[in-house]
Amino acid sequence: MKRFNPIAKLLNYCGFGIIGLGVISFMIIILDQRLGAGVQGTTVLISSLVTGLLFLGFAEVIHLLQGIYDQRNEPDAVEVDFTYQGDGEKTGRIDREDEREIRSFFKGRNQKVGAIHPTDEPFIYIVEVEGRKKRVEAGGFTVKILDE
């Protein structure tokens, strides 16, 4: 449930408005044929861009804070406890993505994977590799062999 934040929207409009007015002012000043009009126009353009971008940045910060607030106050948010409760193998299911990562990891090492067994620990598997059992951690950025 995303909530609408009117302040962020207003700051967004102000930022784009300031940048737009700065560009228009720059064009008007540049078209004036007075001496030094280019320097004056460039100064107006740069200052309006900086000010407009500051407004847009503040709007983005408010938008991100609203997202964090919404995420922390979701009514069906559940905290999960991933503490290790036992050791050894367990008859559970293996995540397909973890299995694919494990097989790919050992294939890259030119080793043949026999069977993969889940454990009580999350993301930890017992993998039979060429007749030997190894504890492997999957589910992260890389597969790690925990005991060799």
Of 63, 138, 71, nearest to 106 by C-alpha is 138
Q: Are 50 and 58 in contact (CB under 8 A)?
A: no
Could you please report the per-residue DSSP string of 87-115? -SB---PPPHHHHHHHHHHHHHTT--EEE
Boundaries of every domain in the chain = 6-72, 96-147
User: 57-114, pLDDT tens digit by residue?
Assistant: 999 999 999 888 887 776 654 554 444 444 444 446 788 888 888 888 888 888 888 8
* Mean pLDDT (the chain, rounded): 82
Q: Are 98 and 139 in contact (CB under 8 A)?
A: yes
Q: How far apart are CA 9 and CA 14, in angstroms?
A: 9
The model's pTM: 0.48
Token output for 13 = 């409009």
| Residue 52 scores a pLDDT above 80 | yes
Token output for 111 = 């080793």
Dihedral angle, C-alpha 78, 83, 86, 88, nearest 10 °: 100
Strand order in the sheet with 144-145: 113-118, 124-129, 132-137, 144-145
The pLDDT assigned to 22 comes to 95
Token output for 110 = 């030119």
Which are the contacts of 130, defined by CB distance < 8 A and separation ≥ 6?
111, 112, 114
| Residue 11 scores a pLDDT above 90 | yes
